[in-house]
């Protein structure tokens, strides 16, 4: 946790606001283990020590329903919102009101070995079936030549990343997790087909059995070492995969939309960070000015160039400087436009817990009864959802 303030002597009419963020040296650890709990504890106690805070993309409904986040509709008007990628605005909206301003965006991407696809005469796969066939042929050829390689790597450990990955398979088969009315659909045929595909065609097949223990770093490391043809990961992986000092595949990497099933469309799970204002802040006007500054085109451009952070402002994907330093952003805008939020519920952590256990059980056991497990998980999810209806 950290507070942003000035150490120099300030003008008499200045106001110091407190900006609560994660420790930048270990953001993933602090985000998942500590940051959320420390922040919500302060907000539960109506602390005046918080003015502005970061929110993960799944937090706005929770913070809104609890009364911690200030409604921004009166100051964040529709014209300003139109400058942002639409799904990032949707993620910050709960019951028709908006509670956060998008700062960075994440979405699932397909990374692939350009050199290997070219060697075997392939274009990036459009469907999951194409990916399977390409992976099989490339792996077979490379192993005959003495290279240790697998076809696919992603995040299949039991944690939030598993939900993100599995949601992309389900959506791309015309399935859903939870519909707009709060009904769980994971026991429907389309969702079950997608889960069965992962279990029967990916785990232990084009991906190693070990992928069941992979989060982002493990899957990225395998890809960077040249041991995977395809990888599902977030935008941050681009700079790592092309790091000439650390990656064996630097300069040989391409990115594309994730594949879809026949008759379906490609979807990516939406990730990213937003800024909110504490309802208990005594400096709301100054807090809003600070958020406008941090989410401005100028600052988002700076973050894109200096830190490789994907902007939430649409216009920056046509900015020459942004594209110069991040040429892969040209291929990512379409992905971001179709990125899909996870179920928007104040009790999403409980929903995620059910989904994580369900997905992990059925994809790790070749003999699992997916239908019955899905029905049971669906019942649990609807019990959670009913608590806030």
DSSP secondary structure string for all residues of 358-373: HHHHHHH-TT--HHHH
pLDDT for the residue numbered 337: 86
The CA-atom distances, in angstroms, between 276 and each of 148, 231, 291, 310, 325 are: 47, 33, 8, 19, 29
Report the predicted TM-score, pTM, of the whole model to 2 decimal places.
Answer: 0.89
d(CA 107, CA 92): 16
> What end-to-end distance do the CA atoms of the chain give, in Å?
33
Phi-psi region of 174 (alpha: psi -120 to 50; beta: other; left: phi over 0): left
The domains found in the chain, sorted by start residue, are 19-106+271-340 (3.40.190.10), 109-268 (3.40.190.10)
DSSP 77: -
The answer to whether the beta carbons of residues 131 and 125 sit under 8 Å apart is yes
Which of 81, 74, 27 is CA-nearest to residue 271?
Answer: 27
Residues listed for the chain: 389
CB atoms within 10 A of CB 325: 14
- State how far the alpha carbon of 20 is from the alpha carbons of 2, 24, 52, 219, 243, in Å: 6, 12, 6, 31, 31
pLDDT in tens, the chain (389 residues): 444 333 344 555 677 777 776 655 445 544 555 688 888 999 999 999 999 999 999 999 999 999 999 999 999 999 999 999 999 999 999 999 999 999 999 999 999 999 999 999 999 999 999 999 999 999 999 999 999 999 999 999 999 999 999 999 999 999 999 998 889 999 999 999 999 999 999 999 999 999 999 999 999 999 999 999 999 999 989 999 999 999 999 999 999 999 999 999 999 999 999 999 999 999 999 999 999 999 999 999 999 999 889 999 999 999 999 999 998 898 888 899 889 999 999 999 999 999 999 999 999 999 999 999 999 999 999 999 999 86
The two tokens of residue 51 are 């003015």
- Give, as one character, the DSSP assignment of residue 261: -
Residue 147: φ, ψ to 5°: -100, 135
Q: Are 5 and 20 in contact (CB under 8 A)?
A: no
The encoded tokens of residue 88 equal 């990032």
Q: H helices then E strands: how many in the chain?
A: 17, 11
The 3-state secondary structure of 326-359 reads CHHHHHCHHHHHCEECCCCCCCHHHHHHHHHHHH
SS3 54: strand
């Amino acid at each position: 946790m950290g507070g942003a303030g000035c150490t120099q002597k300030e003008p008499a009419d200045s106001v110091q606001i407190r900006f609560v963020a994660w420790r930048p040296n270990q953001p993933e650890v602090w985000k998942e283990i500590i940051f959320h709990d420390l922040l919500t504890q302060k907000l539960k106690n109506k602390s005046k020590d918080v003015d502005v805070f970061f929110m993960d993309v799944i937090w706005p409904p929770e913070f809104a329903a609890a009364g911690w986040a200030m409604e921004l509709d009166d100051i964040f008007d529709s014209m300003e919102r139109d400058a942002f990628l639409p799904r990032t605005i949707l993620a910050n909206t709960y019951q028709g009101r908006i509670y956060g301003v998008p700062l960075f965006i994440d979405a699932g991407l397909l990374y692939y070995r350009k050199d290997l696809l070219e060697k075997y005469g392939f274009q990036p796969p459009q469907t999951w079936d194409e990916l399977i066939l390409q992976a099989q042929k490339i792996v077979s050829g490379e192993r005959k030549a003495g290279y240790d390689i697998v076809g696919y790597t992603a995040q299949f450990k039991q944690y939030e990343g598993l939900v993100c990955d599995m949601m992309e398979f389900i959506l791309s088969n015309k399935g859903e997790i939870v519909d707009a009315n709060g009904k769980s659909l994971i026991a429907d045929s389309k969702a079950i087909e997608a889960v069965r595909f992962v279990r029967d065609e990916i785990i232990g097949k084009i991906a190693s059995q070990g992928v069941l223990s992979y989060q982002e770093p493990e899957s990225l490391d395998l890809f960077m070492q040249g041991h995977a043809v395809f990888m599902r990961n977030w935008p941050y992986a681009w700079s790592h995969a092309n790091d000439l000092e650390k990656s064996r595949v630097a300069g040989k990497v391409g990115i594309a939309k994730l594949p879809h099933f026949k008759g379906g469309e490609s979807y990516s799970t939406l990730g990213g960070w937003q800024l909110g204002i504490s309802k208990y802040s005594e400096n709301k006007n100054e807090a809003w000015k600070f958020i406008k500054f941090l989410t401005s085109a100028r600052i988002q451009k700076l973050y894109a160039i200096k830190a490789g952070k994907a902007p939430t402002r649409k216009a920056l994907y046509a900015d020459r400087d942004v594209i110069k330093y991040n040429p892969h952003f040209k291929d990512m805008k379409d992905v971001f436009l179709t990125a899909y939020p996870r179920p928007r519920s104040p009790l999403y952590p409980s929903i995620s817990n059910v989904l994580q256990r369900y997905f992990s059980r059925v994809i790790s056991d070749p003999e699992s009864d997916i239908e019955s497990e899905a029905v049971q998980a669906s019942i649990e999810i609807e019990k959670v959802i009913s608590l806030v209806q």
